[in-house]
Structure formats: C-alpha cells, structure tokens
A and B are shown apart, each in its own frame.
Chain A
Amino acid sequence: MEKAALEWRNVVKKRERLDLGPVDLKLYENYITALIGRNGSGKTTLMKLAAQLIHPDQGQMLWFGETYPKGIPVEIRSQIAYVPEHYAAEEDGLKMDDAAKFRASCYARWDWQRYEELLHRFEVPGDKKLNKLSKGQRRKFEITAALAARPKLLLLDEPSSGLDPFAWKTMMNEIRRCVDEDGTTVLLSTHVVEEVRRMADYLILMDRGRSLGMAEKDLLLERCREVWIPQGEELLDELPGIVESAVEMSGMVRFITLDYGATAILLEEAGVKPIRVRALELDEVMEHWMNGSMQLTEAGMKQE
C-alpha cells in the first residue's frame, strides 16, 4: 500500500465565507495532485490547513502519518514548503538574497546551488528588495525558494498567476525536474487546465467546501468522450454514462458518455462504427463531475 504524505481526516473548518468539510483526503507520496474547483470552493483553506497556518475545528491533519495538534516540529516543518497565493508582508523590505538566507536557516536540506540555478533560469535579477520585484518576479522568487528547500511536501497555491507564458513553462519544467529528483509530494491548486494536463497525476475537485473526490487523471479523462454514430437513437437507452445526446443532420446521433470503455464494447457488439470520437477537454469533464453525473468509486478511479 502506498504511503500518504498528507491526510485530511474528517476535517471541518468554519471560515468567514465558507464552511469547509467534513473532508477526507489523502495525498500519496511522490505524486502531483491538482486541486481544482471554482473560486471560493475551499481550495485555499485546504492549503492553509496543510501548511498549518490554520487548525481544523474538527477532525485531524496528518503529515507523513503523524498528527501535530500542538504545532509541527521544526524537523518536519523543514520538509514542507509552501508558496501561498498572497505573501506575508514581513519580508517585504528584505533583499532577495537575505530573504533566501533566512529561509535557508529554516530548511535543513536547503540547496544554494539549486537556488542560484533556478534564479538564473527564471532570469530574476539578484540583489533587489522583495517589494521592488514585479508580481511575476516575486512569484519566481517564491517558487525558487520553495524548490531550493528540497521539500518532501510542496504546497503550491495557484503558482502560475502573474507569470508570462515562457516563465510559466519554465516553472512547470523546473517543478517537475525537482520533484523527480527529490521524490516530492505536490499539492497544486490551479485554474489553468493546461497545467493540470501537463503536471497532475491525481485530481481533487472541490465544490462549495466539499470534496467531490479524488481521481486518477488518465482514468478520468479516458472515460469521457463525445461520439458520433450514423444512426440508432434507440441505442442511447442501452449505452452507459450518457449525459447529453442529440440527433443531428441526416439522422446522425451525437452523444457524450462518461463511460466510454463500456460504451465502445456495446457499440461494437451492435455492429455500429462511430463516425467520430472526441476526447472531452478537462473543463468539460470538470463540469460533468461537478454536476454529479460522474460516479466516482475508489476502485473505479485507480489503476491496479
């Protein structure tokens, strides 16, 4: 059985604008999990719980299988890096390298070589004060510092906001490379579909403070297809997972199924050859998932 780097166990948290939970989720070691959902669905609250910036009202948080209600000890803290959506103001007056020195003192595995290398690749000029950096530069510094810490658990709250497309691509490559080298577990909250496609192994969908479950990305995407067949509207009643269908011109039938594997087998048995099959985009998949049309079972969403 795979080990969990992070776990929300029956966690409830009341916030000003949101009641979160109860949430039960696990992040398995060495995977990248994307946290997706609309604004205000509870993604940042989950992140803050994971960074222990806030404590649950009920339930427990577990880091590497342990719970630390009185505060995460220094040696464990030093294995967790967090890039928040909004930065704390305390470091603002510091020069970049001084801020880095401070962080190096918090992280036992801090890697100066990686720090220099990443700043170079991100083309961030050294020696500036943090509050003098542009939004994008500040973001690059924060990501650099998080990766230089060589964390075992990396929490990224919308890391791509403020980055231009080139910096964004570099960021994804570097995160991936570091994660690969260090065996890091990553929680990545994002609205960027392409980021999910390129980075994620698992997806967690949040909706109004609730988790709609966790799915293996490839299995989820593989199930969702738009199919065109020459005719045979009557077939639709027998096909599984149909969420949308229409009779188009010349009697052609178009439908969306969330269970393409079983659908393809039934079509073949009926001797029907699809005219066209299209994979749904991730945002379309998310929509059906949010509508509750997707039946997610633990077993159905994991490869054996």
Chain B
Amino acid sequence: MRIPVQINESSAEPLYHQIESQLRSLIVTGQIAEGTLLPSIREFSADLKCSVITIRRVYQDLENEGLLRTRQGTGTFVTKVDTDDREAYKRQIVQDVVRELIDTARSVGYTPDELRALLDETLREEERR
C-alpha cells in the first residue's frame, strides 16, 4: 500500500516533520481509516526515498500521540481518532494555510484591510460558480 505523502525539498522543515504532519493529517481527517495496516518501515522509506531512521521516528512519534499502534510481528495500525480531536485538527490545518496566506500578502505589501477585501471578493466569486 502506498501513502500519498509529498516531500517538499525547498521547505526548511525537517524531513521527518513533513512526513509526520502529512501522515497525521491523513489519519485525523479520516482519509486513512481506523484499523488500516500501514506499510512496513522499510517499504515506506523506499517509497519516499528516505531512510528507515526517519520513518521509524515518524511512526514512533505518532504512536506516542496515540494515532498508531504497533503489534509485534504484524505491523503498525491506525487507531481510533476522537471526534473532538478531528474537529480541532481540521481547524488547525486551515489556520496553518491562512497564516501562510497572511505571510505572502505581507511580503508584497498588502494591508490587513486589503487582504480581507480580497478574501471576501474571492469567496464571493467561488460561491457564484
């Protein structure tokens, strides 16, 4: 099984962190269902062309957060995600993108009001479609 994780090499974010946050997001949003058996550490690392050391770290971190569970001899599974966690997480994902948006707007000299106006206008355009 393959997992749709995309590594961004121009990001300053460490590799393990990129993989971890994308995998976390796939699990919390339910795109990878509860009970799913994840690829072995070696398989996943080959898929992403990274080392097993990085993937082991990702699995371990998500295990500590309670999102994954490893059963000796069978592999690593996705555990049940709490509904409250899921909602909080969705909010988090959107907020992260909004922050990035603000960053970009600021770098080209937009004021908060100009950004708000553009956001409203774009929302209206999207609704009309």
Contacts and interface: CB of A to CB of B under 8 A. Distances in A.
Contacts of A276: 10
B53 A218 contact: yes
Contacts of B54: 218, 303
Size band of the interface chain A makes with B: 20 to 34
Contacts of B117: none
B26 interface: no
A217 B10 contact: no
Nearest to A303: B53
A277 B9 CA distance: 8
Contacts of A277: 9-12
A222 B14 contact: yes
Given A176-B42, A179-B42, A279-B9, A201 B15 contact: no
A279 B11 CA distance: 9
B50 A273 contact: no
Contacts of A279: 9-10
A303 B12 contact: no
A212 interface: no
B52 interface: yes
B8 to A, nearest CB: 9
Contacts of A198: 46, 49
Contacts of B14: 222, 261
A273 B104 CA distance: 10
Contacts, number: 56
Contact of B12 (A201, A202, A264, A278): A264
A260 interface: yes
A303 B61 CA distance: 14
B46 A201 contact: no
Specify which of A31, A173, A218, A278 lies most central, judged by the most chain B CB atoms within 10 Å of its CB: A218
B43 interface: yes
B107 A273 contact: yes
Interface string B22-59: 00000000000000000010110110011111100100
Interface in B65-113: 107
A274 B14 CA distance: 17
A303 B52 CA distance: 11
B50 A31 contact: no
B16 A303 contact: yes
A148 B98 CA distance: 54
Contacts of A201: 45, 51-53
A236 interface: no
A179 B46 CA distance: 12
B12 A261 contact: yes
Contact of B15 (A173, A199, A218, A225): A218
Contact of B46 (A176, A264, A273): A176
A14 interface: no
Among A179, A278, A279, find the residue whose CB has the most chain B CB atoms closer than 10 A: A279
A200 B54 CA distance: 12
Contacts of A180: 40, 42-43
A180 B42 CA distance: 6
A109 interface: no
The 4 closest A-B pairs by CB, nearest first: A264-B12, A279-B9, A277-B10, A201-B51
8 contacts: A180-B40, A198-B46, A198-B49, A216-B51, A225-B10, A260-B12, A261-B12, A277-B10
Interface of B: 9-12, 14-16, 40, 42-43, 45-46, 49-54, 57, 107
